[in-house]
Amino acid sequence: MMLIQYHSIGTIHSPFTKISDMPIQPSGAVGVPGSIEINEELVPALQDLNGFSHLILLYHFHQVKESKLQVTPFLDTQSHGLFATRAPQRPNPIGCTVVRLLDVTKNCLIIENVDVLDGTPLLDIKPYVPAFDGEMADLRIGWLEGQSQAARTIRSDDRFGE
C-alpha cells in the first residue's frame, strides 16, 4: 500500500465539542454557526472565494480511533458495508461536508450549516458549483431510500468515537 501524507490547511471551529448529540449531516445543521481558521501562509489561496455561497470541505476525522469494514449507521439498525455509508470509521478517515460561506476576512472564513466537531483539521476547500455538483440523472440512494430525510433530526451518539 502506498503511503500518502496530507497536512492540515486550517482548523474548523463549531459549537460541537463532543461527538455525541451532533448533527449527522449538514441537513441537520441548518443555521449552525462556525468558522474556519486557515493557516496564514495559505491566505493568498482564499482570493475570490467570497464570490461563492457554498463550500465543500474535506477534513480529517481526528477523533476516529479505528476503521471498520461494516458499520451500523445512525439511520438504520442493520449493518452495512462501510463504503455504502458515510460513517467516519474509514480506512482513510476523511470527511466531506457542504457549508454556507458568509464571509472571508484575512485567514478566517465565517460559515454556517456546520456538522463538524470543533477543532477538526481541514484538508481542502472546494467551491460548491451546482452545475458540477448538482443532481444526477437516474440517481439511486440504496438502503437510504425512504430514510435520508431523517438526517435532519437524528443526532449522533458515541458509536464512532469518544
pLDDT in tens, 35-60: 999 999 999 999 999 999 999 999 99
Residues 111 and 99 sit within 8 Å (Cβ to Cβ): yes
The CA distances from residue 20 to 16, 69, 104, 160, in Å, are 9, 22, 30, 9
**Residue 96, in any domain of the structure:** yes
pLDDT at residue 144, as a whole number: 66
Upper half-sphere CA count for residue 45 (Cβ side, 13 Å):
14
User: pLDDT at residue 14 above 70?
Assistant: yes
Binned at pLDDT 50, 70 and 90, residue 105 comes out as: very high
**Residue 30, in any domain of the structure:** yes
pLDDT at residue 75, as a whole number: 80
**Residue 146, in any domain of the structure:** yes
pLDDT at residue 132, as a whole number: 87
The CA distances from residue 136 to 45, 99, 132, 141, in Å, are 30, 20, 10, 11
Query: Helix, strand or coil for residue 74?
Result: coil
**Residue 1, in any domain of the structure:** no
The CA distances from residue 73 to 27, 45, 118, in Å, are 16, 36, 22
pLDDT at residue 157, as a whole number: 72
**Residue 46, in any domain of the structure:** yes
User: pLDDT at residue 32 above 90?
Assistant: yes
86: which residues sit within 8 A by CB, 6+ positions away?
25, 73
Q: What percent of the chain has pLDDT over 90?
A: 64
Residues 89 and 67 sit within 8 Å (Cβ to Cβ): yes
**Residue 24, in any domain of the structure:** yes
Domain that holds residue 37: 10-152
Binned at pLDDT 50, 70 and 90, residue 139 comes out as: low
**What nine digits make up the cell of 129?**
458549483
**Residue 162, in any domain of the structure:** no
User: pLDDT at residue 155 above 80?
Assistant: no
pLDDT at residue 113, as a whole number: 96
Binned at pLDDT 50, 70 and 90, residue 70 comes out as: very high
**Residue 109, in any domain of the structure:** yes
- CATH code for the domain of 107: 2.40.30.70
Please state, in angstroms and rounded to a whole number, the distance separating the CA atoms of residues 24 and 14: 14
pLDDT at residue 73, as a whole number: 84
Number of domains the chain contains: 1
Please state, in angstroms and rounded to a whole number, the distance separating the CA atoms of residues 67 and 88: 8
Q: pTM (2 decimals)? A: 0.87
The CA distances from residue 162 to 4, 17, 18, 103, in Å, are 26, 11, 8, 32
Binned at pLDDT 50, 70 and 90, residue 123 comes out as: very high
